[in-house]
Every structure is written in C-alpha cells, then in structure tokens.
Amino acid sequence: MSCTDEVVRMISKLSDVEGEKPTIPPSDNHRDDSWSATDIYKGEIFVNQADGLVWTRAEIDGVDQIITIDGYTNLVEFVLNQASTAAPIPYHTKGTLGGGAFARSGTGVYTYTLASSFPQYRTFFKTHQVGQATQSTKVEWTSANVITIKTFTGGSPADDILTNYALGIYILPQRTPAS
C-alpha cells in the first residue's frame, strides 16, 4: 500500500555525516515505520554537507536508482530570528556565500539578496519546521539575486514565526556539456 496525501511536498534531506548516502526505501509509504533517515522519494534531494555531494532518486530505463547530481559549489547556512515588522537577523552564519542582506517586504514576506548568486534550477534550500502546527514557511527562488521566505499562520501571511529558524541555500555547479 502506498502513502497517498492530499498535500504533497518534497523534502530536501541534509546530512553532515561524512560518507553518508541516500537510500531507496523498502516501501512506498514513509509512515509504515520501514523507512530509515536516509530514504528518499523519487525527485527528492539529499545533500551531504560534509562531503559536498548531492543526490536524487530517479527511475532510469525502468530501474529505480540513486544518482549523483554533483557536489555544490557554494552554500550558506543561517539561523534566523525575526520579530514584529523587522527584517530577519542571522545570528549564526557559515558557508562560502557571504555579503547578502535580509529585508522584510510585507507581512510574512522576507528576502535575502546577494547579486548574481542564485542560478535558476541549480539553487536548493534546506529548512526546518517552524514552531506550531498551524505555522509554516515557504522558501522560493525569486531571481538570480533574490531568495524569498514566506511565513504563514493558519494559511495567512504572518510575522513573528522565524525563531531559531535554520535555512540552508545550496548552489550546484554549472555543468559543461560534453563536446
């Protein structure tokens, strides 16, 4: 029996364990207690931060398999706090991308801007669940210069949700076509 959810979202999994790789689960149902922490759905991203490698799960020629996308070339990880109508404040930052700025552009809408740093289709995010069950976040690629973070309470835009909020931004390298 497979797991059928009305609302489906793909999760990027992050590991900081050297040599750890993603795995194919024994079932299609992540709720049946057979899945390990490294199991991923088709299309999900698994990032090993310690090794700088990225994988996904795909079906190629009818065979379900884990494939290496490639290592990421740039990354930045934040722990953010945001209160009232202020912009998010990063209080712990690490990585190779630096110098960007956070801003608040409206209720529950925040941006991180860093010129020409976020190539489309090669920028991936890792976040964690926010505080209460009624609260949620959405991180979006907006442009090569801007990442947008949206926060909600009960489905409506809301401020004061980002408390000790972890956000990772990972950039995959440009691939050169074979000649």
Q: How many residues does the chain have?
A: 179
What pLDDT does residue 1 have? 47
Look at residues 54, 25, 29, 27 and name the one whose alpha carbon lies nearest to residue 40: 25
- Residues 44 and 94 occupy one common structural domain: no
What pLDDT does residue 145 have? 94
What pLDDT does residue 130 have? 64
- Residues 40 and 127 occupy one common structural domain: no
User: pLDDT tens digits, residue range 116-125?
Assistant: 888 888 888 8
Going by the DSSP 8-state scheme, the letter that residue 162 receives in this structure is: -
What pLDDT does residue 2 have? 55
- Residues 167 and 82 occupy one common structural domain: yes
Residue 7 counted as domain residue: no
Domain boundary among 21, 46, 68: 68
Plot region of 155 (φ>0 → left; ψ -120 to 50 → alpha; else → beta): left
Q: Provide the residue range defining the domain that includes 63.
A: 13-68
What pLDDT does residue 178 have? 43
Single-letter amino acid, residue 30: H
Q: What is the pTM of this model?
A: 0.62
Residue 176 counted as domain residue: no
Pair of tokens at residue 157: 């835009």
Residue 4 counted as domain residue: no
- Residues 59 and 79 occupy one common structural domain: no
With 60 as the cut, is the pLDDT of residue 7 above it?
no
Residue 6 counted as domain residue: no
- Residues 142 and 161 occupy one common structural domain: yes
- Residues 80 and 151 occupy one common structural domain: yes
Q: How confident is the model at residue 141 (pLDDT cuts 50, 70, 90)?
A: very high
- Residues 161 and 89 occupy one common structural domain: yes
Residue 51 counted as domain residue: yes
User: pLDDT tens digits, residue range 146-179?
Assistant: 999 999 998 899 999 898 888 888 887 665 444 4
User: pLDDT tens digits, residue range 52-108?
Assistant: 777 788 776 666 767 676 666 677 888 898 999 999 998 877 777 778 899 999 999
